[in-house]
Chain A
């Protein structure tokens, strides 16, 4: 299997394209053009499209891919499915302002929604693709529909958690510090040493039970401390 990463220059989100024997899995089609171009240029066929969460910078290319390959299987969490159909919850309504505050003043970003997805899941869920097992674990906090996606138990697509050198954002619409502290942080703390992390922003890395936990743990301690006070 080969993996390609397409990073959107504006939002810096990562789209992962995993190819095997001409078929591919697309995780977080972040842009309407770049993933499509990579897939087309290589003559691949998207067979599976997955989302880590409902934010626009992770699914702006979803409908473009579905239009081009309507037979592709799309699998998302039920809450994520609701989010992608809502301009506020998918953040596209405030993306222009978010980009302004992120150092990209003057960018134009049109609010949009995606069409509903037919195949949704609740809770812990698994599927198989070409002999590879994908397991989805609900990780609320950043958004209510966020999930972590394991591939074959040794690769973990973390969405907007475990971002190198960035604090997790919990204050966008639908975010919850309480859910993050209660559900997601304990889960992330139990990730096995040596797992390959593929974050939604920033470079992939191997997780070791030392430095890489720092940003999550520090934040958790702050949240935990506030709740106790």
Chain B
């Protein structure tokens, strides 16, 4: 499984969205991606990619696309 597939799978599993919805997915853009959902997502991504995302980056992770840039900082190329 590629990193992109892993990345997408976490969003789909966490928020119950379709793959075609991912590019426009934003924090607080859907009900499930609220503060609790955000923490859960960060935790799942950390576990999935075996990284530890800093608090600043967690707060900067405001949408699906931005998340790719942030994960790249931790050596996860998507």
Interface residues in chain A, defined as those with a beta carbon under 8 Å from any beta carbon in chain B: 88, 93-94, 96-98, 100-101, 169, 171-173
Residues from chain B with Cβ under 8 Å of A169 in the complex: 36
Could you mark each residue 51-76 of chain B with 1 if its beta carbon is under 8 Å from any beta carbon of chain A, else 0? Answer: 01001001100000000000000000
The answer for the CA separation of A101 and B35 in the assembled complex, in Å, is: 7
B37→A94 contact, CB < 8 A: no
The answer for the CA separation of A97 and B60 in the assembled complex, in Å, is: 11
Which of B36, B37, B38, B52 gathers the greatest number of chain A CB atoms within 10 Å? B36
The answer for the CA separation of A101 and B46 in the assembled complex, in Å, is: 19
Q: Which residue on chain B has the smallest CB distance to residue A97?
A: B58
Q: How far is the CB of A201 from chain B (nearest CB, A)?
A: 16
Q: Which residue on chain B has the smallest CB distance to residue A101?
A: B35
A-B residue pairs, 5 tightest by C-beta? A101-B35, A171-B36, A96-B55, A94-B39, A97-B58
Residues from chain A with Cβ under 8 Å of B55 in the complex: 96-97, 100
B46→A88 contact, CB < 8 A: yes
Q: How far is the CB of A174 from chain B (nearest CB, A)?
A: 10
Q: How far is the CB of B16 from chain A (nearest CB, A)?
A: 12
Secondary structure at chain A's binding surface: helix, strand, loop or mixed?
loop
**B27-58 at interface with A (beta carbon < 8 Å):** 35-40, 42-43, 46-47, 52, 55, 58
Residues from chain B with Cβ under 8 Å of A97 in the complex: 38-39, 42, 55, 58-59
B46→A172 contact, CB < 8 A: no
A173/B43 contact (C-beta < 8 A), A93-B52, A101-B35 known:
yes
Interface residues in chain B, defined as those with a beta carbon under 8 Å from any beta carbon in chain A: 35-40, 42-43, 46-47, 52, 55, 58-59
B43→A94 contact, CB < 8 A: yes
Q: Which residue on chain B has the smallest CB distance to residue A170?
A: B36
Find A100's partner among B43, B46, B59 (CB 8 Å cutoff). Answer: B59
Residues from chain A with Cβ under 8 Å of B43 in the complex: 88, 93-94, 173
Residues from chain B with Cβ under 8 Å of A100 in the complex: 55, 59
The answer for the CA separation of A97 and B57 in the assembled complex, in Å, is: 10
Residues from chain A with Cβ under 8 Å of B42 in the complex: 94, 97
The answer for the CA separation of A121 and B39 in the assembled complex, in Å, is: 30
Residues from chain A with Cβ under 8 Å of B38 in the complex: 97, 101
Residues from chain A with Cβ under 8 Å of B37 in the complex: 171
Q: Which residue on chain A has the smallest CB distance to residue B37?
A: A171
Q: Which residue on chain A has the smallest CB distance to residue B32?
A: A171
Residues from chain B with Cβ under 8 Å of A96 in the complex: 55
Apart from A97-B58, A97-B59, A173-B40, list 20 A-B contacts with CB within 8 A.
A88-B43, A93-B43, A93-B46, A93-B52, A94-B42, A94-B43, A96-B55, A97-B55, A98-B39, A100-B55, A100-B59, A101-B35, A101-B38, A101-B39, A169-B36, A171-B36, A171-B37, A171-B40, A172-B36, A172-B39
